[in-house]
Amino acid sequence: MSIRLYDTSTRQVRDFVPLVPGCVSIYLCGATVQAAPHIGHIRSGLNFDVMRRWFAHRGYRVSFCRNVTDIDDKVIAKAREQGRPWWEISYENERAFDDGYTALGCLPPTVEPRATGHVTEMVEMMRALIERGHAYAAEGNVYFDVRSFPGYLSLSNQELDNLRQPEGEGETGKRDPRDFALWKAARPGEPSWETPWGRGRPGWHLECSAMAHKYLGLAFDIHGGGIDLIFPHHENEIAQSRAYGDDFASFWVHNAWVTMSGEKMSKSLGNSVLVSEMVQRWRPIVLRYYLAAPHYRSTVEYSEEALREAEAAFGRIEGFVQRVVERCGAVEPAAEVPPAFAEAMDDDLGVPQALAVVHTTVRQGNSALTADDKDSAVARLAEVRAMLGVLGLDPLDPMWAGTGRGDDLHGVVDSLVRLVLDQRQAARARKDYATADAIRDQLARAGLAVEDTPSGPRWTVSSQ
C-alpha cells in the first residue's frame, strides 16, 4: 500500500507520489517568534516530525525545511510593548522554540532559514511579480493584485467578492482592499531594508514563498502548517509563488489546533500553556505521547485529566519495555514494523490506529512474560521498539536519556529510593512483613509504585 495523505487543496485523501522518486520535500511554516511556544505550536512541529519519520522508515530521503519568522507585525508590536530590540525578542524566542522541539523529541530540520536572511530573494520575487503585472508599488509598499491571479482562494474555497483581507498598520495606497502586502514601507523606529521601491520590511506571506523557492526549488511535495494558516497565509503564498512561475506544493497538509474550553490555544487570547512550564510538570516523552496520539487532523482539547490518561497509557508501554529488558537483556528494534501498524500509518498517518497495534503487541508481550516465554517476549519488544521509533516514543532511544521532570536529580532520587528499598528487602528477609508493607505504603503515599520482579524491586512514578 502506498502512503496516502489528506490534501486540503482537493479535500480528499490521495495517493502520495513524490516529484522525485525516492525523495520527499517538505516545507513547514514554523515559528513566529514574538513569544515563547505553547503546546499548540509544538504540536504542529511534532505532527510533521512523525510524518518525516514515517517517510524515512519507508525508505525515502527527506528534505525538511521549517522556517523561522523573525520579523513581522507581531514581533515589532512586542518589541514596542517591551521596549526591547526586535532582534533580541526574536532570537530569545527562537531559542525557546528550539528547546521545545528538542524537549519533545523532534528531529532537527534539514534547514531552518530565518526570514531576515532572505530579503534579497524577496526583492527578486517582487521585481518579477511587478514585471509580470501581478504586483504594484504604492507609497513605498508593494502589493499583490489578487484579481491578476485567477486561481486565488481555491485553497480556502472562498468567494472573492466576500473576501475580507487582514491588514496591518501603514498599508496605504492599495488599488483594491483585497490586495495583500508583499512589502511594507519603513515606519519610524521599525527595522527596514533598502529596495528599489524604498526602505521597508517584508510582508509575512512573501517570506515563506522566497524561502521555499530557495531551498526546495520550483516545486516540492508537501507544504504543512496549522489549519489557521489556510487563509490568509497559505492562500497568499500560493498566489504569489505561482504567479512568480513556481509550481509550488503538490500537497497541502494541515494539522488541527490544541484548544482550551473549545477555543484555539493562542498567545493573543492568553489561554496558552507554555512548553517550558509543561516539561517541569510532565515527563517530555509523556507530553509527546499526549500530543502525537490523536490524529493530526483532530482537535486536541487540553485537560489535566487527558494528560494523566496519556501518562498511564504510556506507562503501560514503558513498563513492558522495562520488564523485558530486566529479564531478557537488551533488545534491538525489529527491521520492520507489524503490517497492521504500517497500514495505519500509510493511511493518512493514522497514529491512533497505529498506537492500538502498539498496545495490542504490548499485551501479547506481557502474556508471554507471564508464561515465561522469553523468546516471544523479546520478539514483541523488538516490534514495539520499531513502532515506537517511528513515533519518536521509544523510551530506550538515547534522545530520551536524561529527560523528564527533574531528571537532573533522577540519579539522586534513585539512590535515595534504593536505600529505602534495601531496608524493605532486609525486612522481608527477616520475615518482618509488617515493616516491609509499611515501607511500601509510605513510598506509595509519596507517589512511587514498587513492583517486585525476579531481578529485584523496581520503582516508578505512580500514574495515580
Higher pLDDT, 260 or 34: 34
* Average pLDDT of the segment spanning 175-187: 96
**Which residues, listed in sequence order, are joined to residue 219 by a DSSP beta bridge?**
248
pTM assigned to the model: 0.87
Query: Amino acid letter at 458?
Result: R
Strands 180-185 and 4-7: unpaired
pLDDT, tens only, 182-222: 999 999 989 999 999 999 999 999 999 999 999 999 999 99
**Gap between the Cα atoms of 113 and 94, Å rounded:** 11
- Point out the least confidently predicted range of 110-119, 275-284, 352-361: 275-284
For residue 110, the number of C-alpha atoms closer than 13 Å in the C-beta half-sphere is 17
* Average pLDDT of the segment spanning 43-55: 98
Q: Is the pLDDT of residue 404 over 70?
A: no
Query: Amino acid letter at 315?
Result: G
- Point out the least confidently predicted range of 117-121, 275-279, 336-340, 385-389: 275-279
* Average pLDDT of the segment spanning 5-21: 98
Which percentage of the chain shows pLDDT scores above 90? 80
Q: Is the pLDDT of residue 67 over 90?
A: yes
**Which residues, listed in sequence order, are joined to residue 66 by a DSSP beta bridge?**
28
Residue 388 and residue 354 in contact, taking contact as beta carbons nearer than 8 Å: no
pLDDT, tens only, 325-368: 999 999 999 999 999 999 999 999 999 999 999 999 999 999 99
Q: Is the pLDDT of residue 411 over 70?
A: no
* Average pLDDT of the segment spanning 269-288: 87
Rg (C-alpha) for the chain, rounded Å, is: 26
**Gap between the Cα atoms of 210 and 236, Å rounded:** 12
Residue 308: predicted pLDDT: 94
Could you give the maximum distance between any two Cα atoms of the chain, in Å? 91
**Which residues, listed in sequence order, are joined to residue 255 by a DSSP beta bridge?**
226
Q: What angle do CA 58, 64, 70 make, to 5 degrees?
A: 160
Residue 403: predicted pLDDT: 53
Q: Cβ–Cβ contacts within 10 Å for residue 31, how many?
A: 26
Q: Is the pLDDT of residue 263 over 90?
A: no
Residue 254 and residue 224 in contact, taking contact as beta carbons nearer than 8 Å: yes
Q: Model confidence at 407, in pLDDT bands (50, 70, 90)?
A: very low
What average pLDDT does the structure give for the chain? 92
Q: Is the pLDDT of residue 444 over 90?
A: no
pLDDT, tens only, 140-167: 999 999 999 999 999 999 999 999 888 8
* Average pLDDT of the segment spanning 64-86: 96
Residue 454: predicted pLDDT: 61
* Average pLDDT of the segment spanning 94-117: 97
Q: Is the pLDDT of residue 412 over 70?
A: no
**Which residues, listed in sequence order, are joined to residue 274 by a DSSP beta bridge?**
38
Q: Model confidence at 408, in pLDDT bands (50, 70, 90)?
A: very low
**Gap between the Cα atoms of 315 and 322, Å rounded:** 10
Q: Is the pLDDT of residue 409 over 70?
A: no
Strands (E), 140-255: 141-144, 180-185, 200-202, 219-226, 248-255
